[in-house]
Amino acid sequence: MVAVTAAPADAAAPVGRRRGPRPPALLVLAGLAVAALTLLPLAFVAYEAVQTGWAEASRLIFRQRTADLLWNTVRLTAGAVALSLALGVAAAWLVERSDLPGRRLWTVLLVAPLAVPSFVNAFGWISIAPGLDGYAGAVTITTLSYFPLVFLPAAAALRGLDPGLEESAYSLGLGRWAGFVRVVLPQLRPALLGGALLVSLHLLSEFGALALLRYPTFTTAIYDQFQSSFNSSAATMLAGVLVLLCLALLLADLGLRGRSRYARIGGGAPRPVARAPLGPARWPVLAGLAALVVLALGVPIGSIVRWLLAGSSTGVDTHRLLQAAGTSLSLGAVAALVTVVLAIPAAWLAVRHRGRVSALLEGSTYISSALPGIVVALALVTISIRAATPLYQTAPLLIAGYAILFIPRAVVTARAALAQAPPVLDSVARSLGEGTIGTLRRVTLPLIAPGLGAGAALVFLAVVTELTATLLLSPLGTRTLATEFWNQSSSLAYGAAAPYAALLVALSAPATYLLTRQARRGTA
Amino acid sequence: MTALTLSGVTKAFGSTQVLRGVDLHVPARTLTAVLGPSGCGKTTLLRLVAGFDDPDSGTIALGGETVAGAGRPRPPRHRRVGYVPQEGALFPHLSVAANVGFGLPRKQRSAERVAELLGLVGLSPALAGRHPHELSGGQQQRVALARALAPRPSIVLLDEPFSSLDAALRESTRRAVADALVAAETTAVLVTHDQAEALSLADQVAVMRNGRLVQLAAPETVYGSPTDAGVAGFVGEAVLLPASVCDGHATCELGSLAVRGAVAGSISGPARILLRPEQLVLSAAGSGGVEARVRDVSYYGHDASVRLELIPGGTEVLARVAGHDRPRPGSLVCLSVVGEALAYPGDAAPAEVILTPTPG
Amino acid sequence: MRWRGTTVAAVVGAAVLSLAAGCGLGSGSKTELVVYNAQHEDLVATMLKGFAKDTGIDVTLRNGSDFELANQIVQEGSASPADVFLTENSPAMTLVSDKGLFAPLDEDTMAHVPAAYVSSKKDWIGFAGRSTVLAYNTQSVPKAQLPASIMDLADPRWKGQVGIAPSGADFQAIVSAVVAVEGQSKAQEWLKGLESNAKIYRNNVAILSAVNAGEIRTGIIYHYYWYQDQAESGANSKNVQLEFFGHQDPGAFLSTSGAGVLKSSKHAEDAQKLVNYLTGKQGQQALVDSKALEYPLGNGVAANPKLKPLSELDPPKVDIGSLNGPQVVSMMQQAGLL
């Protein structure tokens, strides 16, 4: 069949995409201001490093303590990531590719540990088994807290794989195990890399759990330095090393991911997957999964319940509890509002005016998403002391800290929200007689509101359960659920700490529920 | 009175010159199709008319009033221009009724007016309560048109409105849109790359190439007397042959043919002549005319496209025959030409067959 | 329409009234003192209960830790809202005093306690004391094996046997006493030895609990943690006994909780009254009667009979105003403890 196409080309994809109109100057300025804010901690650490000078910096960094901390941090990360990968992939495969009974329930149970903040998990364990400190305890407990971060993307990736690839492998003679290793696993690489990165970054920022477990890492050391001698270069130098570790992780992720492009073959497998029968292996597998869930979920929740009932040390001070809850909720609400508003310029530029400014913004939010809370808090405290004293120890500074920490999440949801309101709708509205304000009011805002709301909810929940930055930045006398929990559990007043822990878990549950709904949608 | 006049409109984006001086007159209550390949600037043209962007130079006048090019351009909301984008772009969060009534003042957003507009585009008023995602592609396009027509615009601009529809829906939606535009007595400008669409729907066709308007005429004129070989090839299949013109006759490989065309009289000597494939008639071998061998046959049911190789020389030509009359590949046939050829001045350009994708 | 107007008026009226009530009553009639407090909150609240009743002065406590508050006061400088600063240990007082931020104390306030507990600059005063002790597990450490001096704990014999809380101001105060008594180089050696011997805990409560559980054999804490636990249920201390070093050993260091009036205070007179009260008979007796079980420092006030008498402690003589916090931190960094 002769089908030579000459002049009339396919017009569906216009050749030579033109640039749209230039972004309004105000938007660019706003975007640059947000980028500057998110890069502030990084700039601070770099500036301090330069100011301290090589001699002093090397004295502070190159000593045994730092080496110990580095060793602790690296081996914890390596161990926990390896374990999380193993558990996460195994669980994902069982749920998505085998005939495991009760798959939907297992999906919920395997995601639920995310509802228990890691420091509450550590509390749950250490309050019933105080001997569980040191490396073994730290690896175990952090893995139990974070393996869902691998399970979720691995399960989603498995769902999206075309089973045709595996079937071709089997038809070519590969056994099930070989097929899994040589065909499935490589396709899971982007998801696994993403999950491993998330777990590593969480571990590098982890403070509460590791302090409770008496496992010293950079974050606990920075906190101790800060408590003792405040505004010291020692804390900042340690923070510098920590930041370098985080950036190294980001680079490694980019490097490992960049080379391979694994396009999703269609949005979801077109035909249902033939699940592998477990046979008699079903019972040990179920027992294993049950054990995992008991350890990850049952122990912390059971421990909280147990201490709630016992309430041995001092009865529950309800006034204080309510006050702390009120503070947490109001901080969460304000921070959510501020963060979403700050995220809008970045998202707007990224979706509507792709260019150098939007690339810069994306890059800066990507980098700042890797910075630990303690580094951000330390930077803000020091900057406010040196350059903006009126802000020191005030609520706005704390809100700024939250904003810097959680803008990346808000930007992601804001971008998705803005994609719901493509510019062509604006054009149509204008042709129908609406001005800029009218278009925003009648078309853009109604369409992006749900997405923005989801982003605000995410930030709200993150703020309510945030511990590390709050400890450093909150004004004297400010009590949040997390800080009150921290005070009580530090003095081993477990009964008094339990109500706070319970509230923290209760407040994290909605977001986790949303995650499980998303995850369950795929499980047949 | 022209409803729309563009004079010398230019537009560049960065270093790319998209429109290079476009002159266009659109009479009131007619449908003009702007036909051209992608990248020729037709969407930009539409956006300039709507007011989403401003021309670098030249003027745009709507209904006699200059809206761009002289002083401050009038913003879109004051131009009373209806706009139907490629994907319809209905507001997803509003019902069909709310979409249709969007451009109307609150008082006029009545169920009757909505039903009236839906009827205009051939849709049942029962659809008023539905949401865009519950409609088919064709229905969405029609609602988009109803929405654009609601505030009684002076002109409606349609940006490739049928290209996102699958073939089955395309024809019925085209008819519905054309009928609605006639019934509403609105001026319309339709941008498309599909020449069948342009030829069948429009009162006048504007052929664009590289940011310029190459021909503005009725469909028959554009098809029958294209201004150059490029236009000829764009609006239909073409067979171009080198020839020698003398006294209104062209001598070429297919024999001596009568020639017409605006420049027929003044052309003498080497030229390129244009024939449409339907002008080539096949008969049994040896029945007179030029001999040719059938290379292959593409059968479309209602007709067939036959590629032939002329026996002496091997020049390739294309003929269109009725479906039931098609020859077998490899057989020998005789060719003769019906009607006149068009001549274009040209030096020794080789013979060329221009095909277009099968119209939908 | 009508009722809407009335409702709005009522709401506005109520708001205005309550605002007026809040403001009017608050201001003018009563002075309010702001106390930056690093001592245990319940102890200070108990001690000051009588003060508020007697003088009618309202006291607001802003709680934090020694150095957190000291550094904040230094940062705030003359703009600080603090009227009085109370600490758990003395190095934090020294920090603030060295910046010249304290006002001189009233003469009769200073007469309340022995001269050793008043700073040499006469700008702050001790109002409670706590003795350094070695808590040891009775089941794994026979009395004969106990060290004679706190300096012995750097000995390799004690590897893995000592619990300390280096990030806390309490331990840092003890280190500063070691520096004052033994000199910097010996103190640095001691810290080095501790670094290899000691297990790190977050605070004294954790150390006591760990000694009790047998996780470690000994721990350096302050006395009152043990006594408080014993008074409650004994859950964290039934296997623990305290060893008081005595003999003016650095390990017998009596740390002083200090009180000082800020120069920047806008209610200087009332602030002086508060410090006076804290160190006077009433405040000190309130301390003795409380559950805190720390040592009172006031003249003629006897400590809680449960405690080992103050006269028997034999602590080393140190100038409380000379205990240097930042130097200690730097030494501990060098030793790898921080």
Q: Do B234 and A8 touch (CB under 8 A)?
A: yes
Which of A69, A128, A215, A228 to probe by mutation at the C interface, max C CB count within 10 Å? A228
* Average pLDDT score, chain A: 84
Q: Which residues pair with B16 in a beta bridge?
A: B13
Which residues from chain A sit within 8 angstroms of residue B299, using beta carbons?
Answer: none
- Reference C190, options C155, C148, C156, C154; nearest CA is C154
Q: What is the pLDDT of residues B31-69, one digit of tens each?
A: 999 998 887 788 899 999 999 999 999 999 998 889 998
Q: Is C72 on the interface with A (CB under 8 A)?
A: yes
Q: Do C325 and A490 touch (CB under 8 A)?
A: no
The pLDDT value recorded for residue A17 is 40
ipTM, 2 decimals?
A: 0.81
Q: Is C237 on the interface with A (CB under 8 A)?
A: no
Using CB atoms, pick whichever of A16, A19, A425 lies closest to residue B89: A425
Residue in chain C lying closest to A385 (CA): C75
DSSP alpha helix (H) spans, A62-117? 64-97, 103-111
Using CB atoms, pick whichever of B18, B51, B357 lies closest to residue A8: B357
Beta strands at C84-86 and C32-37: parallel, antiparallel or unpaired: parallel
Residue A381 and residue A472 in contact, taking contact as beta carbons nearer than 8 Å = yes
Cα–Cα distance measured from residue A206 to residue A217, given in angstroms and rounded to the nearest whole number? 9
pLDDT of A315 strictly over 80: no
Mean pLDDT across A407-429: 88
Q: Do A230 and C67 touch (CB under 8 A)?
A: yes
pLDDT of A149 strictly over 80: yes
Q: Which DSSP helix (H) or strand (E) runs through A121?
A: helix A118-128
Q: To the nearest whole angstrom, how far is the Cα of B48 from the nearest Cα of chain A?
A: 12
| Chains C and B are in contact, defined as 3 or more C-beta pairs closer than 8 angstroms | no
- Reference A146, options A86, A92, A189, A84; nearest CA is A84
Beta strands in B125-186 (DSSP E): 155-159
The pLDDT value recorded for residue B262 is 55
Which parts of chain B have pLDDT scores under 50? 357-360
The pLDDT value recorded for residue A5 is 25
SS3 A158: helix
Q: Is C204 on the interface with A (CB under 8 A)?
A: no
The pLDDT value recorded for residue A81 is 96
DSSP alpha helix (H) spans, A163-281? 163-171, 176-179, 185-187, 189-205, 208-212, 218-229, 233-258
B254: phi then psi, degrees, rounded to nearest 5:
-90, 10
CA atoms within a 13 Å half-sphere pointing along the CA-CB vector of C48? 25
Conformation bin of residue A83: beta by default, left when phi > 0, alpha when psi is -120 to 50: alpha
Cα–Cα distance measured from residue C313 to residue A129, given in angstroms and rounded to the nearest whole number? 37
**Contact pairs from chain A to chain B, CB under 8 Å:** 110
SS3 A435: coil
Using CB atoms, pick whichever of C62, C205, C329 lies closest to residue A476: C62
pLDDT of A57 strictly over 90: no
Q: Which residues pair with C240 in a beta bridge?
A: C137
Chain B, window 42-61: residues with a beta carbon less than 8 angstroms from a chain A beta carbon: 43-44, 47, 50-53
pLDDT of A89 strictly over 60: yes
pLDDT of A260 strictly over 70: no
End-to-end CA distance of chain B: 35
Which of A432, A439, A440 to probe by mutation at the B interface, max B CB count within 10 Å? A432
Q: Do A2 and B296 touch (CB under 8 A)?
A: yes
Q: To the nearest whole angstrom, how far is the Cα of A394 from the nearest Cα of chain C?
A: 12
SS3 A351: helix
Cα–Cα distance measured from residue A208 to residue A213, given in angstroms and rounded to the nearest whole number? 9
User: In this structure, what token pair is assigned to residue A377?
Assistant: 């808090």
The pLDDT value recorded for residue A263 is 45
- Reference C177, options C316, C10, C72; nearest CA is C316
Which residues from chain A sit within 8 angstroms of residue B354, using beta carbons?
Answer: 6-7
Which residues from chain A sit within 8 angstroms of residue B309, using beta carbons?
Answer: none
Cα–Cα distance measured from residue B180 to residue A48, given in angstroms and rounded to the nearest whole number? 71
Q: To the nearest whole angstrom, how far is the Cα of A492 from the nearest Cα of chain C?
A: 7
Using CB atoms, pick whichever of C36, C203, C337 lies closest to residue A490: C203
Q: Which DSSP helix (H) or strand (E) runs through B7?
A: strand B2-13
* Chains in contact with C, where contact requires at least 3 CB pairs less than 8 Å apart: A
Cα–Cα distance measured from residue A116 to residue A120, given in angstroms and rounded to the nearest whole number? 6
Cα–Cα distance measured from residue A171 to residue A175, given in angstroms and rounded to the nearest whole number? 9
Write the CB contacts of A315 (distance below 8 Å, at least 6 apart in sequence). Answer: none
Q: To the nearest whole angstrom, how far is the Cα of A20 from the nearest Cα of chain B?
A: 9
Q: Do A477 and C72 touch (CB under 8 A)?
A: no
Using CB atoms, pick whichever of A130, A232, A234 lies closest to residue C213: A130
Using CB atoms, pick whichever of B77, B83, B151 lies closest to residue A435: B77
- Reference C276, options C146, C125, C89; nearest CA is C125
Using CB atoms, pick whichever of A65, A227, A392 lies closest to residue C68: A227
Cα–Cα distance measured from residue C232 to residue C234, given in angstroms and rounded to the nearest whole number? 6
Confidence band (pLDDT; 50, 70, 90) for A521?
low
Cα–Cα distance measured from residue A192 to residue A90, given in angstroms and rounded to the nearest whole number? 12
Q: Which of A54-58, A227-231, C89-93 has the highest mean pLDDT?
A: C89-93
Write the CB contacts of C296 (distance below 8 Å, at least 6 apart in sequence). Answer: C128, C129, C284, C285, C287, C288, C302, C303
The pLDDT value recorded for residue A382 is 86
* Chains in contact with B, where contact requires at least 3 CB pairs less than 8 Å apart: A
pLDDT of A156 strictly over 50: yes
Which residues from chain B sit within 8 angstroms of residue A424, using beta carbons?
Answer: 85, 87, 89
Cα distances (angstroms) measured from residue A184 to each of A409, B186, C115: 30, 59, 79
Q: Do A430 and B91 touch (CB under 8 A)?
A: no
How remote is the C-alpha of A368 from its chain's centroid?
Answer: 12
Q: Which DSSP helix (H) or strand (E) runs through B18?
A: strand B16-27
End-to-end CA distance of chain A: 44
How remote is the C-alpha of A39 from its chain's centroid?
Answer: 18
The pLDDT value recorded for residue A15 is 34
CA dihedral C115, C119, C122, C127 (to 10 degrees): -70
Write the CB contacts of A101 (distance below 8 Å, at least 6 apart in sequence). Answer: A282, A286
Residue B357 and residue A3 in contact, taking contact as beta carbons nearer than 8 Å = yes
End-to-end CA distance of chain C: 69
Q: Do B354 and A6 touch (CB under 8 A)?
A: yes
Cα distances (angstroms) measured from residue C42 to each of B50, B107, C60, C125, C286: 74, 69, 13, 20, 12
Cα–Cα distance measured from residue A443 to residue B102, given in angstroms and rounded to the nearest whole number? 10
Write the CB contacts of A251 (distance below 8 Å, at least 6 apart in sequence). Answer: none
Q: Do A6 and B51 touch (CB under 8 A)?
A: no
Q: To the nearest whole angstrom, how far is the Cα of C72 from the nearest Cα of chain A?
A: 9
Core vs surface per residue B299-311: b (16+ CB within 10 A) or e: eeeebbbbbbebe
Q: Is C200 on the interface with A (CB under 8 A)?
A: yes
CA angle, residues A82, A83, A85, in degrees to nearest 5: 65
Report percent pLDDT > 70 for chain A. Answer: 90
Using CB atoms, pick whichever of B44, B151, B195 lies closest to residue A433: B151
Q: Mean pLDDT per 10-residue run, chain C (338 residues)?
A: 44 46 43 90 89 89 88 84 93 92 93 91 93 93 90 92 92 93 94 93 92 92 92 86 91 93 93 93 92 90 89 89 87 88
Q: Do B83 and A428 touch (CB under 8 A)?
A: yes
SS3 C224: helix
Which of A212, A224, A486 to probe by mutation at the C interface, max C CB count within 10 Å? A224
Q: Do C203 and A227 touch (CB under 8 A)?
A: no
Which residues from chain C sit within 8 angstroms of residue A234, using beta carbons?
Answer: 333, 338
Q: What is the pLDDT of residues C53-69, one digit of tens each?
A: 889 898 988 888 888 88
Confidence band (pLDDT; 50, 70, 90) for A361?
confident
Q: Do B37 and A433 touch (CB under 8 A)?
A: no
The pLDDT value recorded for residue C5 is 42
How long a stretch of residues is chain C?
338
Q: Do A14 and B13 touch (CB under 8 A)?
A: no
Q: Do C329 and A224 touch (CB under 8 A)?
A: no
Angle of helix C223-232 relative to helix C204-213, nearest 10 degrees, comes to 60
Q: Is C15 on the interface with A (CB under 8 A)?
A: no
pLDDT of A493 strictly over 70: yes
* Chains in contact with A, where contact requires at least 3 CB pairs less than 8 Å apart: B, C
The pLDDT value recorded for residue B31 is 94
Cα–Cα distance measured from residue C118 to residue A188, given in angstroms and rounded to the nearest whole number? 70
Using CB atoms, pick whichever of C69, C213, C333 lies closest to residue A234: C333
SS3 A448: helix
